Structure formats: structure tokens, C-alpha cells
Amino acid sequence: MALTGLEIYKLLPQTNCKECGFPTCLAFAMKLAAKQATLDDCPYVSDEAKSKLEAASAPPIRLVELKNEEGEVKVGNETVLFRHEKTFYNKCGLFLRLKDDEDAGILSNKASEANAFHVDYVGIDLYLDGFAVEAASGDPATFASAVKAVNEASKKPLILIADSADLAKAGLEAAEGARPLLYAADADNWEAMAEVAKEKNVPLAVRAETLDGLADLTQKLKEAGIEELVLDPELGGYHDSLHKLTAIRRLALKKTFRPLGFPIISFPGTASEADETLLAAEQIAKYGGLIVLDTFNPASLYALLVLRQNIYTDPQKPIQVQPGLYEINDPKPDSPLLVTTNFSITYFSVANEVEGAGKPGWLLVADSEGMSVLTAWAAGKFDAERIAKDIKAFNVADKVEHHKLIIPGHVATISGELEEELPGWKILVGPREAVDIRGYLDSVWQN
Amino acid sequence: MTVEIPKEKYTSSVRQVTIGATADEGGTRAHTLTIGGETCMPFLLHEGSTPNRPALALEIRDRKPEDWSELLIETWGDAIGDPVAWARAAEEVGADLIYLKLSTTTPDGEPNSPENAKKIVRQVLEATGLPLAVIGPGQADLDNELIVAVAEEGKGERLLLGLCEENNYRTIVAAALAHDHLVQSKTPMDVNLSKQLVILIHDMGMPLERIVMDPTTGALGYGIEYGYSVMERLRMAALQGDTMTQQPMIVTPGEETWKVKESKVGEGVPETWGDWKQRALNWEAITATTIIHSGADLIVLRHPETLKHVRNMIDDLIQTQTA
């Protein structure tokens, strides 16, 4: 963890020159500890103290960046073990592994297909982050042409899986325009791999089965001048993954254990005791960094991308949409009027159904402070009073002539009260779930 | 370099709760089901113990449900219209508990009645030796009417009865107290509401050993992160000694996921959503996986294939337990 004010004070000149704008060096140290001042304000700090202080203030899990012409992936910089303590910041990357023992044409097709995968989730565009190309052939020329084929089919970030310096070099040279992760240095090849990573200025993954082995390697690489590292703890199944990743995250955050303060790379498809999709799901929730899948299956990828989006949502800020009267499919004054809350997932579920039904409709999105129907109702943010207020605030009566309002089935209990709040209006109780809106509009509203 | 694995120390544990009663205990169940008892965060077994692995229940209905996905109807086949066959099928595919949810109406369109509920519960109890949960259809008056009758019929069986919610719990708790059953206490994704309802139910005289807490779980893509974090916070509080958060947690990913569009329907959805059946099974299994990692003790599913995958995962997670 960061240094305390007193620890910082010991590293300062202790002359109380006041040039930093604070009355004493101790006061300045306290401000530094609270991150309300920067070290640059002290003109006399020694280089030695500076490097110590900078090292201490470095994030406990290093940020690693992969780039290509179309996209970048940043992992690391996490600060908590549980998302409710603050938030998880940098979404883990989801990659697809392709091996060079297949024909370059086939690889190119596979990469194009996966590259084209896009799915819309509550207005957010979800897609695969990139590709891991593996030198399974062991031949530098074959590997280079595979990397080239994938890199031409998709300009997304790359991971190059190569176990020798020759292969690594061939792959990196073929990855034009990209800043890939080089995978991986181990106890045997680390010196040669370090040289390549340094020469090409790319991040390097290190692989060892034990945490001791990993820590040894990262220390050696640090001495060799390589600092942008990713750890591969050779994870097994659900149990092994949870234990190792929890241990690494805790060591980094709670002990500021620098040798393991790096993001993790994992290959959930390689564990014989686990289902690839479910192990990937576990790793999304529990401390995965770069997750390399062996199967491209939209039915899994869509679900995993949604999970990642959910887990990495800032718990302090529910995703909201602007309250108001929304028009769907160009509604007329006699089109049905539905009301829901402004929690984005609720809004999109309802709006998608009305839109999908191909019927014009009005959707009143009440200001429920970003809560879903039941939660908002329980918290008194989606009651008769609130809905009546929004009916008036958004001049709904001027646009919708029939004065009939369809409320979610989950809040059927407020219909009486709402009729009292809105004289002249008729309250209809709609379905509980958005998925049943289509059927409701077809049967009930028609009649 | 020797890296020392950090361990967290907790002062307290989750309460153990036993559902069902064998002949020796005054019931007719072949065995009982005990959940809870953890002294560590989920599966971190090097720093505590998990005496009871998370249990898996399958949800069945007293009649063929009208709004279930085709995929579920296909899987259960004819059993889906016959609670006896359905309960047996659920036992056969490895459920630890049968979660029987009653419907508002009978198959001939009549409102469900206490007599009908009693009859079905009796039949299910005779069809399977598994512990049983019986849950009302979700309308306060009808729930009370049916569950009171069920409590009487199942006397001695230590059924899990529900749902107890903030605005409707007294009648069900009183019935469970009178006939020695347990209750499911359900609150909408909030640490304090969870705790408060446990307190209210306990204040009526219900021992804490007979309350299972349902913190409510959103489906993947539909608010799972709220339930996930509420559960992590509840579990953390329990281990740190907050007594009224120490109930084992029941979650219903089957019910939550099979009502969302991704699982329910195969047509009129984007092609990039992939194969319908695989997607639906992933939706249920991933939702279950995620909340098992945040402390779920009893997981209610709908599809037998999901149960198989989730069972494998739990077996692997718990493998090296030494306690």
C-alpha cells in the first residue's frame, strides 16, 4: 500500500522551506499521503527519495496495454477485492485462440468471422477483444504467415503464443501496426524472451506453475528491465483458478507484493475438469485479466460479454436513461401508453419488446432514480404519486388522447391509488415481465 | 522465493439449517438436507470450512406451467403435467431438494384450493424421499390460504415454506411455527431489507435455525450484479459476526433466467445471440455460477442439464476440503 505521511516525511529534505506552498515538510508529507499534492511541488527532493516515493505510489497491480489499429485492451490497475468496495475498473479482455497448424486461409476466415461478431446489449456494443495466435507448428515462417493472416483479417489486439525467441521475433515482425502481448517467458527461456520483448517494446507474459516460480521470474525480468508483465499461473479447474487468483489479488492489494502485482492471463478451455464457459465466467467474476477462449461460440460469448459488462458496472452508478415520454414506432394519439422505470436494463427490456412487436406505442419512463420496477417500488421511487407527477411533468395527456395507462404487473397494487391521483384516467395492469408485452398488446389492448 | 499465501481470519460463521425430517425425526424423508455452516468466503477452504456443499434444487409445479419456455417443456416431457412423475424425474437427475411452486389455478381453470394443494403435496411427499420446499403462487391472499393448508398437511416433514415477504409473512410464519416447518424469507436485493425481515420473522418466535434467506438474484444481463454484491456483503457481514445476516442463502436462477428473452424464445432475436438452447443453458448456468461464488447455499434450477454442469463445478470447487 501507499506510504504513510510519516514515512514520506522521512524521505523529504526536512528543511521546512515552504516553497511547496505548505508551512512544513511534515504538512506537505501529509498532503502527499492524502494524494492532495504532488512531489513535483518540492524543488529540493533528492532523486533517490523521488524514485522511492514513485515506486511506492505505483498502482499495486500494474496496468498493461495491448494495442492494434482497431482497438486496445487495458488490464490491471485494480484496487479492490470486491466490486462493492469501489468498482472493478479495467474490464478483463476476452480473446480467441487460433493455431498456426491450420492453413492461413482457414485462419483468416476464422478471424474474420469472430471479428465480425457484435451484439447490442442495452445500447452497448459488445465484441471479442482480440486474438491469440499460437505457434503450434514450431516453424517461424509458418507462424509469421499465420500472424499476418489474422492481423489482416482483424485489426484487433493480439497475443502471440511462442515459446522461443526465434518464433517470438517472427511473430512480432508479422504483426504490423500492433502492440501484442508476447507469451510467454518461463524458467528456461526467460532471458531470450526478455531480449525480444525489450527490443520490440511489448508486454511479456511469464508462466510458472507455482506462485514462488512466478515471483522469481518477475523479479529476474524486472532486473533485466522488463516491467510490463502478465502472469500465467497455469490454472487448472474452478478450484485451482479461484485459489490462485484470489491469492495473487490479495497479495498485490493487501501486501503490496510487487513481484505478483500484474494482471493474469488464463486459458479456461484447457482445464479438463471444467467447462470452458463456466470457468471463464468464474474468472470474469474472480480476478481474471486476459481470458483466452479456445472456442468461438456466440451462445457462450454473448453470455460472457454480458457477465463482464455486469460485473464491471460501477456499483455506485446504476446505468440510467433520461426520464421522459418516449415514442416507439411513430405513435399516434390512440396508441397504447406504458409506464416503466428509468433503470436502463428495465427501459431497454420494455422498449425492445414494444419495438419488436412492430406496434406504435408511448413509453413513459418515470424518474425512479435508476432503479428497476420492484426495487424502485419497494424504495418508494415508483409509486402512484411519482407516476402521476411524471404524467403531468411530461404533458402526457396532451399527446395521448385515450387516457389509459398500462402499468407493470409487478406493481398491480398501486392501480387504485393511481386512479385517485389521476382523475379521468383508466389504469390497466400489464404483464409482469417485458417478454410478455407483445402478447398483452395483441390480446388485451386490441380489445 | 517463497510466497506466503495470505489468509483472512473471520470470527463467526453462517448458521446451519436442516430441511426435511426422516422417520426417526417425525417425518417421512429418506434423508435431510443441511445447508450453511461456512466459516470462510465461498470455497476459500484454506482459511475456513464449508461443512455443507451448496445444494441444488429443481423447481417443479403442481400443474403444467403456461409460461415456461419450450425448451423446458421439451426436456421434462410428459412429467411436466404430473407433479408425481416430475418430482421423481427431478430426484433421478440428481436434485438435493424438490422446490414445488403452486399455481394460481388448477389445470381445469379453477382457482387453486387448499384441498388441491394438500393433495398434491401429499402425492409429492409419497413420490420422493427428498426434502421438500413448497412455495405459494405469489399472490398474498392465495399464498396464505394454500400454505396454511400445506403446513398442516406436511406436519412433521420440516418443509421449507414461502414466500415470506416484507408485506406478507405473518400468516406463513405462524403456520410454519405451528407445524414445525422452515420459511424462505425473500427481500428485493438489499442488505438491510434482508436483515430486517429475518429480524421480523425471528421476533414472531421463529428460531433462526429455521429461516433461509432469499436476497433475490437478477438474471445475467438483468441486474445480476446487484444480487451478486448484496450477497457478498451479506456473507462478509455474517462472517464478521452480524447475527441477523447469518442465514444460509437460497437463490432462484432457474426462475430468473428462464423468463428473460435470451432463454425464453428462439425466434425474432439477433443471430449473434447464437444457438438458442446453448444460450439458454448458459444463461442459467452462468447466473448460477456467479452467485454460487458470492455465497449461495441452496440454488433452485429448472433445467436438469444445468444441474449437471453446476454440480460438476461445485464438486471441483470443494474438492480438497480437509475439515
pLDDT digits (tens, 9 = 90+) for A227-281: 999 999 999 999 999 999 999 999 999 998 999 999 999 999 998 889 999 999 9
Q: Identify which of A20, A54, A60, A24 has the alpha carbon closest to the alpha carbon of residue A37.
A: A20
Residue A318 belongs to a domain? no
If asked whether residues A26 and A71 sit together in one domain, one would say no
**What are A121-178's pLDDT values in tens digits?**
877 899 999 999 999 999 999 999 999 999 999 999 999 999 999 999 999 999 999 9
ipTM above 0.85, yes or no: yes
Scanning B253-312 for CB atoms below 8 A from A yields 259-262, 264-265, 268, 270-276, 278-279, 282-283, 285-286, 289-290, 293-294, 309-310, 312
Residue B182 belongs to a domain? yes
Residue A427 belongs to a domain? yes
Cβ atoms of A108 and A146 within 8 Å: the answer is no
CA distance A188 to A201: 21
Phi/psi at B69 (nearest 5 deg)?
A: -60, 145
Q: Identify which of A242, A228, A222, A233 has the alpha carbon closest to the alpha carbon of residue A200.
A: A228
Residue A167 region, left (φ>0) first, then alpha (ψ -120 to 50), else beta? alpha
B40 touches chain A (CB under 8 A): no
CA distance A52 to A56: 6
Residues 6+ apart with CB under 8 A from B230: B189, B190, B191, B194, B215, B216
Q: Do A243 and B46 touch (CB under 8 A)?
A: yes
Q: Which domain holds residue B44?
A: 17-57+131-315
Residue A409 region, left (φ>0) first, then alpha (ψ -120 to 50), else beta? alpha
The DSSP 8-state label assigned to residue A436 in this structure reads G
Scanning A95-124 for CB atoms below 8 A from B yields 117-121
Residue B100 belongs to a domain? no
If asked whether residues A257 and A403 sit together in one domain, one would say no
Q: Which of B40, B168, B290 to mutate to test the interface with A (most CBs of A within 10 A)?
A: B290
Residues 6+ apart with CB under 8 A from A114: A96, A128, A131, A154, A296
Residue B7 belongs to a domain? no
If asked whether residues A307 and A330 sit together in one domain, one would say no
- Given a cut of 50, whether residue B232 has pLDDT beyond it is yes
If asked whether residues A14 and A69 sit together in one domain, one would say no
**In the prediction, which pLDDT does A394 show?**
94
- Report, as an integer, the average pLDDT of A342-355: 85
Q: Count Cβ atoms below 10 Å from residue A15 Cβ, excluding itself.
A: 11
Give me B206's grid cell. 421463529
List CB contacts (< 8 A) between A250 and chain B: 6
The last residue of one of the domains, among A255, A276, A311, is A311
B7 touches chain A (CB under 8 A): no
Residues 6+ apart with CB under 8 A from B228: A83, A285, A310, A311, B217, B290, B291, B294
If asked whether residues A53 and A150 sit together in one domain, one would say no
Residue A389 belongs to a domain? yes
If asked whether residues A302 and A339 sit together in one domain, one would say no
A313 touches chain B (CB under 8 A): yes
Residue B84 belongs to a domain? no
A295 touches chain B (CB under 8 A): no
- Given a cut of 80, whether residue B218 has pLDDT beyond it is yes
If asked whether residues A258 and A401 sit together in one domain, one would say no
- Report, as an integer, the average pLDDT of B127-144: 95
If asked whether residues A85 and A167 sit together in one domain, one would say yes
Residue A341 belongs to a domain? yes
Sheet holding B97-101, edge to edge: B211-214, B182-186, B160-164, B132-135, B97-101, B55-61, B298-301, B250-251
The total domain count for chain B is 1
In B151-256, the DSSP E strands lie at: 160-164, 182-186, 211-214, 250-251
Q: Residue B203 sits in a domain of what CATH number?
A: 3.20.20.20
A344 touches chain B (CB under 8 A): no
Q: Do B3 and A83 touch (CB under 8 A)?
A: no
> Looking at chain B, which residue has its C-alpha nearest residue A83?
B229
Over chain B, what is the mean pLDDT? 95
3-state DSSP call for residue B157?
coil
Q: Do B3 and A257 touch (CB under 8 A)?
A: yes
If asked whether residues A99 and A244 sit together in one domain, one would say yes
Out of A21-35, A58-72, A143-157, B190-204, pick the least confident. Answer: A21-35
The last residue of one of the domains, among A252, A287, A311, is A311
**In the prediction, which pLDDT does A2 show?**
64
Q: Identify which of B264, B284, B208, B219 has the alpha carbon closest to the alpha carbon of residue B71.
A: B264
Q: Residue A20 sits in a domain of what CATH number?
A: 1.10.15.40
Residue A317 belongs to a domain? no
A72 touches chain B (CB under 8 A): no
Nearest by CB to B225, from A120, A278, A311: name it: A311
Residue B204 belongs to a domain? yes
Scanning B169-188 for CB atoms below 8 A from A yields 188
**In the prediction, which pLDDT does A196 show?**
97
Q: At what angle do helices B83-92 and B114-127 cross, to 10 degrees?
A: 30
Paired strand residues for B213? B185, B249
Q: Do B220 and A307 touch (CB under 8 A)?
A: yes
Residue B219 belongs to a domain? yes
Q: Do A250 and B6 touch (CB under 8 A)?
A: yes
**In the prediction, which pLDDT does B320 show?**
56
If asked whether residues A124 and A257 sit together in one domain, one would say yes
**What are B78-130's pLDDT values in tens digits?**
999 999 999 999 999 999 999 999 999 999 989 999 999 999 999 999 999 99
Q: Which of A115, A217, A223, A275 to mutate to test the interface with B (most CBs of B within 10 A)?
A: A275
> Looking at chain A, which residue has its C-alpha nearest residue B294?
A285
If asked whether residues A101 and A129 sit together in one domain, one would say yes
**In the prediction, which pLDDT does B321 show?**
44
List CB contacts (< 8 A) between B220 and chain A: 303, 306-307, 310
CA distance B305 to B318: 20
Query: Pairing mode, if any, of strands A324-328 and A361-366?
Result: antiparallel
Q: Do B278 and A300 touch (CB under 8 A)?
A: yes
List CB contacts (< 8 A) between B274 and chain A: 297-302
Paired strand residues for A364? A325, A339
Please report the sign of the dihedral spanned by the C-alpha atoms of residue A270, residue A272, residue A273, residue A274. positive
- The H-or-E segment that residue B236 falls in is helix B224-239
If asked whether residues A393 and A333 sit together in one domain, one would say yes
Out of A115-119, A306-310, B1-5, B54-58, pick the least confident. Answer: B1-5
Q: Residue A375 sits in a domain of what CATH number?
A: 3.40.50.11600
Residue A429 belongs to a domain? yes
Nearest by CB to B290, from A118, A285, A435: name it: A285
CA distance A349 to A123: 11
Amino acid found at B188 = P
Mind telling me how many Å the CA of B305 is from chain A's nearest CA?
13
The total domain count for chain A is 3
Q: Residue A296 sits in a domain of what CATH number?
A: 3.20.20.20
Residue B85 belongs to a domain? no
Residue B71 belongs to a domain? no
Q: At what angle do helices B224-239 and A298-311 cross, to 10 degrees?
A: 60
**In the prediction, which pLDDT does A223 show?**
94
Q: Which domain holds residue A383?
A: 324-445
